[in-house]
Structure 1
Amino acid sequence: MADVEFAVGFLFLDAAQYMYTGSTQDSLRVGNVWQTIYCADKYNLPMLMDMCLQFIRSQLKDDNCLAYLENVKLFAHGCVAAFVEKCLETVDASTTAILQSKQFLAIRQDTLVMLLQRNSLSAEENTIYTAVEKYTGFTWSAEACRKNNLEPSDDNRRQMLGAALFLVRFPLLTDSELVNGPAKSGLLLDSELLAIYKYKNAVTKPPLVFPADYRTGCGFAGFRFKERSASLSHRFLEFHHSLLSRNMWIISIWPSGRD
């Protein structure tokens, strides 16, 4: 957007009144606040910037937090960092709903990386993987290909994801989720799938390019405790199911011939 358009937005705010009184009264609106933030940043008006950030903070909700995050990251003002963190905390609290919303498809790749780096996301890892890639309607990588006029091929989707791909915690997926998700989608190389499989089943864990720690926002510690306290017969059945899933997975990934 041209500087002239931003200046017009600022004039509607009544810049003269702010300059002389330090107040915007009730002039800030959702429709003009981002133009005003632009002007406050460009003309070094930190108090006005603070007022704008306070306003958009009061408007922050699950259904706009990603759009606000995308916009505010464009500005280098010192107080922006606190608002960025507030947006991310909103994502932490309602991760599943936000990842499944349309606004998630509109974020840039660097914002996707920022989200996936968070240890405090409150969604199961398969939900996070599904939002990023799995073929269930529109997904982030498929949408990114479309925006860049690329076919949603395996290689192009990997290219669009970039570093974000290696922030999905694939080792946390169950055998069934791996078989029916990454092993079918073509997103991961056969060598990567095999490395994940080995890591999940090895007593001594080998090095892995994907993170494997549970996200603290999921509260998995209690789940793991309950799992450990399960009856012997239940654990035997679970182990037997794992073996069956493992065999299915090896069969499903081996013939494709990808490196």
Structure 2
Amino acid sequence: MFYGDLAEKAVVPIPDVEPEAFHILIKYLYCEESLGLTLENAMDTLYCAKKYAVRRLLKQCRHFLQENLTPEEAFTIHAKAVIWDEPKTAELAMCTLSSQTGKFFSSPSFMELPEKLLKKFLDSDELSVSENEIYQAVRKWVVKHTENNPDYGNEFKRVFSRLIYGIRLPVMKPTEIANGPAEDGILTPAELIDLYTYKFAENKPAIPFPAEERTARPEPIYVSMDLIAHFGEESEELKGGTEFDEYIFGRIRLEVRCDVAPLASKCFIFLCTDDRKFTLRYGDVEFDRRGADDDPMPEDCPKTFPLENRLLANLPGMVSFVICEEDAAPRVCELQICHDDKTANKETYGMVFAKVVSGMETLKAVDSFRDPVWNRECGHPFTESMPAVFFYFGNVSVEAESEYEQEEEL
């Protein structure tokens, strides 16, 4: 394109690449830094990197989307990922959208969707809101896109009639139908009669509306815990929670992606709420759970937790189960928070299912605290006069997303 026997001498048109994405590509080729990535341009940059086989930039774009994806931008990213053959990004975006549909409805991104994409969105079987909420959201979209038309009333009905067949009206309550599509005049009298007949009669007529209820993926759950260093001998009192010669680093909070990895997330929540003993690893520091039940995991609990899929890459701050050896005993689970230094991580990590959303500075404080006093090779303090150091986590709490958001507002 630019050099050699086939070099083009005039202006080279690249019609399928956005200028901003191409600019990021050029900067990366010179500096090897993905400067300027945002949720608005990440997919365009990903396509550009894929087109010109710049694999490192392509990987960075995928990682950027994983770390920054929001419900507000999820459907636009999903649509582009499908077109550009990025199945993992597409599924991750759909998981986010399915578990947090309400946030998407309240965002400007929803109101700016083209009609074609809105129709595609209504085909989804996994949305976490009621069908009446979907109807009301679509109604607001139609109002916004028709309110400036001189013939607003007729234009409203014309546009809405093209979308109404993607809404699962048989799932709505009779009062919702009466106060919604019936009052808005979207349905013909015959369609309205058939709809009510379908809901109440034994012999149901054929109707042009989907009748299957949508399902919703579970929302993320948040788990918080304190990280503690104890100096001196390990004792039963310490395991029970006695504070003696200890230093509390701070508190970390994990976002557990129940929407992406429901089985692994369920196993982890069980460990937390049932006071089970498990180990949390960050680099080569292992935290044992303070005051936990020493009983091993039940025999019917899998030793290697379900992999399910590989939607989440193991980036710094991501949390995964460590895969145990087949003959490992006792049955104590081990989790790993991915360290910035890849050599400090165990390679036998399993399903990535969560990420640290606050407290990374606390984890880094563990490194800065331990490095001056700890012999990493031998696993003990440099001098015999220094007390042994044991690392624990405790005060584990589990909260739903709504509780987490309320706490953040406070």
Q: Please state which band the TM-score falls in when normalised by the shorter chain.
A: 0.5 to 0.7
- Matching residue within 98, 106, 110 for 2:104: 98
* Structure 1 residue 46 displacement after superposition: 4.8
Cα-to-partner distance string for 1:122-160 (whole Å, 9 max, x where unaligned): 211111111111xxxxx112223369x674434x34544
Whether contact under 8 Å (1:122, 1:217) holds in the other structure is yes
TM-score (norm 1): 0.66
The alignment status of 1:144 with 2:141, answered yes or no, reads no
Give the secondary structure class of the aligned counterpart of 2:208.
coil
Aligned length: 202
For 2:45 and 2:30, how far apart are their aligned partners in 1?
A: 13
Q: Which amino acid aligns with 1:141?
A: V
Matches within 5 A, 1:205-224: 205-217=204-216
Superposed, 1:79-158 pairs within 5 Å as 79=86, 81-133=87-139, 139-145=140-146, 151-154=151-154, 156-157=155-156
- Structure 1 portions without partners, runs of 5+: 19-23, 134-138, 220-259
Shift of 1:36: 2.6
Q: In the alignment, what sits opposite 1:11?
A: 26
The match for 1:64 is 73
Q: Does 1:27 align with 2:41?
A: no
Q: Residues 167 and 3 from structure 1, CA distance in 2 versus in 1: closer, same or farther, beyond 3 angstroms? A: closer
Do 1:124 and 1:218's aligned partners in 2 also have CA atoms closer than 8 Å? Answer: no
1:191-236 CA deviation, whole Å, 9 max, x = no partner?
22121111111112111100112222299xxxxxxxxxxxxxxxxx
Q: CA offset at residue 35 of structure 1?
A: 5.1
CA deviation digits over 1:42-101, x for unaligned, max 9? Answer: 42435532321221121012233234345x35x74332x221222121121112232233
**SS across alignment from 2:196:** helix
Question: Is the alpha carbon distance of 1:152 and 1:82 closer, same or farther for their aligned partners in structure 2, counting shifts above 3 Å?
Answer: farther
CA contact (8 A) 2:43 2:77 kept: no
For the residues of structure 2 that align with 1:123 and 1:95, how far apart are their CA atoms? 6
Question: Quick one: which amino acid aligns to residue 196 of structure 2?
Answer: Y
Report the secondary structure of 1:63's partner residue.
helix
Aligned-pair CA distance for 1:163: 5.4
2:50 and 2:111 map into 1 onto residues whose CA distance is 28
* Amino acid paired to 2:23: V
Which residue among 61, 67, 83 is the counterpart of 1:52? Answer: 61
Q: Using the TM superposition, name which of 28-37 and 100-109 deviates more.
A: 28-37
Give the counterpart letter for 2:212 in structure 1. D
CA distance in 2, matches of 1:41, 1:150: 45
Q: What is the distance in 1 between the residues matched to 2:217 and 2:204?
A: 23
CA distance in 1, matches of 2:104, 2:21: 29
Query: Larger Cα Rg: Structure 1 or Structure 2?
Result: 2
2:160–2:186 contact (8 Å) kept in structure 1: no
Distance 1:116 1:35 in 2: 24
The 3 A distance-change label for structure 1 pair 163 and 84 is farther
Q: Do the aligned residues in 2 keep the contact of 1:28 with 1:52 (CA within 8 Å)? A: no
TM-score (norm 2): 0.43
Structure number with higher helix proportion: 1
SS in 1 for 2:77: helix
- CA–CA distance in structure 2, aligned partners of residues 216 and 4 of structure 1: 39
> What SS does the aligned partner of 1:212 have?
coil
Assess, with a 3 A threshold, how the Cα gap between structure 1 residues 128 and 210 changes in structure 2: closer, same or farther: same
Gapped regions of structure 2 (runs ≥ 5): 1-14, 219-410
The equivalent of 1:232 in structure 2 is none
What SS does the corresponding residue of 1:217 show, helix, strand or coil?
Answer: coil
The Cα of 1:172 is off from its aligned counterpart by 1.4
* Paired AA for residue 153 in structure 1: G
Equivalent-residue separation in structure 2 for 1:184 and 1:104 (angstroms): 24
Compared CA separation, residues 208 and 218, structure 1 to 2 (3 A): farther
2:45 is equivalent to residue 36 of structure 1:
yes
Q: In the TM superposition, what is the alpha-carbon distance from 1:116 to its structure 2 partner?
A: 1.5
After TM superposition, the structure 1 stretch with the greater mean CA deviation from structure 2, 88-97 or 31-40, is 31-40
Which residue is equivalent to 1:193?
A: 192
Q: 1:82 to 1:158 in 2, by over 3 A?
A: farther
Identify the residue that residue 181 of structure 1 maps to in structure 2: 180
- Contact (CA 8 Å) 1:41, 1:77: kept in 2 or not? no
CA RMSD in angstroms, aligned pairs only: 3.1
Percent identity over paired residues: 25
